[in-house]
Structure 1
């Protein structure tokens, strides 16, 4: 397995590196959402004008209400709604801040902070960024749309070890109810997490919180197509600051 680590004078000091979506990409997101919103507003206006000419058509009340609104208002309102959606999308992008003594991950307004020395290995697992502790437990696992080479270079420049794949990948086993070999209580948590995973998807807050509960029991869990795979590690990882 290929691992990279840069040491020497360039990793000394207390330099700061911030990683987020490029400004151009962010601007494009806002423009696209604003245009989509304006288009939706224009379409509603057009359909409302058409529906009121058809006495037999449904939704006459809402159509008449829409036609009573001045023409530019609906596209403008749609643009504002689109910008709001763009803001939500931006809020859900991972931001990484690195210095030579710590790493801070910000996602959906939630910050996780880790001392440099607590992080053993960093790698990308599909669309997720993973930080491993020295005991083999996962300190963090977050959705990350940033360019992999850009992220890898930033971590190695600050003295972290970057792996091209999970060094514990072959240790994972698929979870099924009442799986033997798990710590007491882990099967119940995995069952509850499986239900949330199937109903709400992997990005749901309950799914994330139950992952953290498993980590306290010394269990690492990863998801593939709403299936859970698990492994154990020596002891529960310390909580993020």
Structure 2
């Protein structure tokens, strides 16, 4: 009998490591703030020198105490943020539940045609080879493979349509003008390292039936299979 579900994401050790390191680093930076300030004030140019000098004039012990508390709080805030933006995947016999930030999405097994990973990115294909999900997953590929195969999902060792991709270049008239316009905008976003815009434009292209692979800021695309 299959287990009810398997959870993929940060392990207990990973979470413990993040918690300990974040709080320790935040606390230590806070405690040594007086030493850091003394070093900063020796630099030839110091931004906000007046404010820093006022802090330096205060009792160093209490400055360390207050800064340590602030550093620990900042470390906790960082921990909450990391856990919030890290993908968590629940795999069961009937569906996959994807949790990322405020997003919670269920994808039923029947709606999935292929699952695979490219480096740390989990990719799920649906009907007609359409890409229906893509996000980084903090687990090893073999661990993900074992979990998905255990519940009977169509795991692939690589993109099953890898031979269908073609490099897109400016001036390519093979595709409709609306697709070319978005690809041009996305290429510019990639060159400017604007990851959020590139991600949004990828989603816009997916709605038009275009799947993308990025290789050294070059875009390789394929159109979804119809029928």
Normalised TM-score (structure 2)? 0.86
C-alpha distance in 2, partners of 1:50/1:222? 47
**Any idea what the Cα deviations from partners look like across 1:73-116, whole Å, max 9, x if unmatched?**
11221122122122212222110012222112122332232111
The residue correspondences of 1:63-82 to structure 2 (distance < 5 A) are 63-67=52-56, 68=58, 70=62, 71-82=64-75
Structure with higher helix content: 2
Q: 5+ unaligned residues in a row in structure 1: which ranges?
A: 1-9, 237-241
**Any idea what the Cα deviations from partners look like across 1:38-91, whole Å, max 9, x if unmatched?**
232234321334667x7x984542223323261311122112212212221222
Over 3 Å counting, the alpha-carbon distance change for 1:157 and 1:50 in structure 2 is closer
Q: Secondary structure of the residue that 2:153 maps to in structure 1?
A: coil
Deviation at 1:143, TM superposition (A): 1.0
C-alpha distance in 1, partners of 2:31/2:76? 16
Partner of 1:117: 110
Q: Does residue 83 in structure 1 map to residue 76 in structure 2? A: yes
Count of aligned pairs? 221
- Correspondent of 1:130 among 120, 123, 128: 123
Normalised TM-score (structure 1)? 0.82
Deviation at 1:133, TM superposition (A): 1.5
Specify which structure has the bigger relative contact order, considering alpha-carbon pairs within 8 angstroms and separated by 6 or more residues.
Answer: 1
RMSD: 2.4
Deviation at 1:208, TM superposition (A): 2.1
